[in-house]
Structure formats: structure tokens, C-alpha cells
């Protein structure tokens, strides 16, 4: 009896709580809604430059070809009557998606006044147009952004051992799949030591076309 009485007292309270809860829940379900979704994917392009094998040209490759010479400053370029030195050109690929990114120039048995003219082709192997922006020569960290004449001290004795005259194509836009030729002249100077192996590099940098020219 006591239990029945207690149940009679609790029932309204339970109902009230249930109604309140349903009201709250009901309110949240009560409105209509619609949702628009924006789903985005960004597929970035690829900026890629590569050397084109087989397109190179030079004056004095290995073989029965007489050497060339010139005066300091690239004057009086002319062919000699002997075949003493030569220049090998090879390509290498190093961490570059199988695109050749190293152009090797090996000058063999050369001597003061030896001269070589080399041309090579660079192709846009990516999907973004790019612009040739600068070339950095080492040793010496010599940076050029226009066709220029540079000298390099290869053995650190304070005297220039070779001089290089770099061709143009700075600032030219190259679209994907397109290519262009770069050429340079190289001349061995008097102070170069004999019976030596000396190295130099030129880093040829291209950037996405819309960022050129870079801020000073």
C-alpha cells in the first residue's frame, strides 16, 4: 500500500521530466536543415628542367679534330694544326625523376690558350612554365643573371685559371615541353698549373615563370 502510494506520487514527476526531455529533443529535431559541402583537391604542377641528351654541340670532341685557341677575352678565335687536347661531354641523372640534370664537361690534356665552345639544350619537363633566372659558378660563388664574362680560380692561388663567356636566354619563358639552347665558351688561361685535375661547377636555376623577376 505504501509502495502503491509512493508510485502514484512519482508518476507525474516522471511524466513531467520525460515531457521536458522530449520537448528539448523535439526542439532540436524540429527545424529543417540542408547542408552544402565544399570539397577541394589541389593538384600542384611540377616544375622540372632537364638536359636533352644528344643535342649538344662542341668544337673539339674526342677524335681526330684539331684543337682551337683564342686570346684572352675570347678574341682571335681560330683552329690550330694539332690534335692535343679534347673535351668530353656526358650526362648524368641524380635524384631527378630520371631526367638528366647533370651536364659533365671534362677537358682532357688541355693547356694555356685551349678554347672550347659548347652548346646544350634545356627542356621544360614539367607542367609549369619556367624562366632561367641565374647561373652560379663555383669555385668563387660567381652569380650571373645576364650574359656575362667570368673568370674562375680553380686552385685557389688567387689567379684566374679559366674564363667563361656565358650565352643568353636569361628571363625567357619556356613552356612545358618546350626547349632552348644555351651555349658558353671556355678558355684556359696562362696561370693554370700543368699536370693537374681541377673542377668547376655551374648551377643553372629556373623558377616558375610568374615569380620572375625575383625581388632585388
Question: Which residues contact other proteins (rule: CB under 8 A)?
Answer: 47-51, 67, 69, 80, 82, 84-85, 101-114, 122, 126, 128, 130, 133, 154, 161-162, 186, 188, 192-208, 211, 214-215
Task: Give 26 or 45: the residue with its C-beta nearer to other proteins.
Answer: 45
Query: 210: helix, coil or strand?
Result: helix
Q: Name the strand (E) or helix (H) holding 17.
A: helix 2-30
Measure CA 155 to chain center. Answer: 28
d(CA 116, CA 108): 12
- Of residues 178, 177, 142, the one with CA closest to residue 160: 142
**Distance of closest approach, residue 40 Cβ to other proteins, in angstroms:** 20
Task: Give 2 or 205: the residue with its C-beta nearer to other proteins.
Answer: 205
Task: Give 19 or 203: the residue with its C-beta nearer to other proteins.
Answer: 203
d(CA 139, CA 103): 17
Task: Give 20 or 203: the residue with its C-beta nearer to other proteins.
Answer: 203
**Distance of closest approach, residue 24 Cβ to other proteins, in angstroms:** 46
**Distance of closest approach, residue 57 Cβ to other proteins, in angstroms:** 15
Angle ∠(63,166,46) on CA atoms, nearest 5: 95
Q: Which residue has the cell 693547356?
A: 111
Task: Give 117 or 192: the residue with its C-beta nearer to other proteins.
Answer: 192
Q: What Rg do the C-alpha atoms of the chain give, in angstroms?
A: 36
Amino acid at each position: 500500500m505504501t509502495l502503491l502510494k509512493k508510485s502514484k506520487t512519482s508518476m507525474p514527476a516522471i511524466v513531467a521530466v520525460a515531457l521536458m526531455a522530449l520537448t528539448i529533443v523535439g526542439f532540436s529535431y524540429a527545424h529543417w536543415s540542408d547542408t552544402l559541402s565544399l570539397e577541394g583537391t589541389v593538384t600542384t604542377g611540377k616544375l622540372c628542367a632537364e638536359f636533352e641528351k644528344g643535342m649538344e654541340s662542341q668544337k673539339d670532341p674526342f677524335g681526330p679534330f684539331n684543337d682551337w685557341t683564342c686570346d684572352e677575352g675570347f678574341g682571335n678565335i681560330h683552329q690550330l694544326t694539332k690534335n692535343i687536347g679534347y673535351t668530353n661531354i656526358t650526362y648524368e641523372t641524380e635524384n631527378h625523376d630520371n631526367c638528366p640534370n647533370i651536364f659533365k664537361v671534362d677537358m682532357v690534356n688541355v693547356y694555356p690558350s685551349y678554347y672550347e665552345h659548347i652548346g646544350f639544350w634545356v627542356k621544360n619537363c614539367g607542367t609549369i612554365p619556367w624562366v632561367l633566372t641565374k647561373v652560379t659558378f663555383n669555385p668563387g660563388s660567381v652569380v650571373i643573371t645576364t650574359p656575362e664574362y667570368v673568370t674562375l680560380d680553380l686552385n685557389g692561388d688567387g689567379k684566374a685559371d679559366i674564363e667563361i663567356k656565358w650565352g643568353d636566354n636569361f628571363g625567357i619563358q619556356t613552356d612545358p615541353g618546350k626547349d632552348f639552347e644555351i651555349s658558353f665558351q671556355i678558355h684556359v688561361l696562362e696561370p693554370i698549373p700543368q699536370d693537374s685535375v681541377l673542377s668547376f661547377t655551374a648551377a643553372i636555376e629556373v623558377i616558375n615563370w610568374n615569380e620572375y623577376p625575383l625581388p632585388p
